Structure 1
Amino acid sequence: MLTGKQKRFLRSKAHHLNPIFQVGKGGVNENMIKQVSEALEARELLKVSILQNCEDEKDDVAKALAGGTKAELVQIIGNIIVLYKESKENKQLILP
């Protein structure tokens, strides 16, 4: 569980990132969870964009992605989800 200070730090780091995944009409599936999990291992922090044609609520999408990848949900702002998961191999971010 992240503290408020850690979430603020991660939000500031994520501000300059571009979303690398998009959730569309198909919603969240096993393949997407696997790919997001691999990307989190490589990057630790990433953004996921929710398209307008997505049939699921953004809160449900965020919970499904965070639960499936065992990542922390940092923020949901508009249609963008920010996820963080500490990397085992290539650690880049040191949380305050």
Structure 2
Amino acid sequence: MLTGKQKRFLRSKAHHLQPIFQVGKGGVNENMIKQIKDALEARELLKISILQNCDEDRETVAEEIVRGTDGELVQIIGRIIVVYKESRENKQIELPSKG
């Protein structure tokens, strides 16, 4: 579980990122979860945008992505979801301590 301090740190890191996945009419599917998992392993921090034509609400989409990838939800802002997952092979982001 991320602390408030860690979430603030990750939000500032994510600020300049571009969304690399889009959730549209089909919602979240197995294939998308697998691709997001792979991208999280490579990058640790991702932005995912939810298109206007997506049938599910943003909280549901975020929950499905987090559950499917074992990631951590950093933020939902507008139609953008920010997700973090520490990489096993490719660790780049050093989180502030939990203290």
TM-score for the superposition, normalised by structure 1: 1.00
Is 1:76 aligned with 2:76?
yes
Whichever residue aligns with residue 18 of structure 2, its letter is N
Identify the residue that residue 17 of structure 1 maps to in structure 2. Answer: 17
Whichever residue aligns with residue 88 of structure 2, its letter is K
CA RMSD of aligned residues (A): 0.2
- Aligned residues with identical type, % of pairs: 76
Query: SS where residue 7 of structure 2 aligns?
Result: helix
Identify the residue that residue 65 of structure 1 maps to in structure 2. Answer: 65
Q: Deviations over 1:10-47 (max 9, x none)?
A: 00000000000000000000000000000000000010
Within 1, Cα distance between the matches of 2:23 and 2:90?
Answer: 26
Identify the residue that residue 50 of structure 2 maps to in structure 1. Answer: 50
Is 1:89 aligned with 2:83?
no
Deviation at 1:6, TM superposition (A): 0.1
Query: SS where residue 89 of structure 1 aligns?
Result: coil
Whichever residue aligns with residue 44 of structure 2, its letter is E
Structure 1 gaps of 5+ residues are none
TM-score for the superposition, normalised by structure 2: 0.97
Within 2, Cα distance between the matches of 1:78 and 1:24?
Answer: 15
Structure 2 gaps of 5+ residues are none
Whichever residue aligns with residue 28 of structure 1, its letter is V
The count of aligned residue pairs is 96
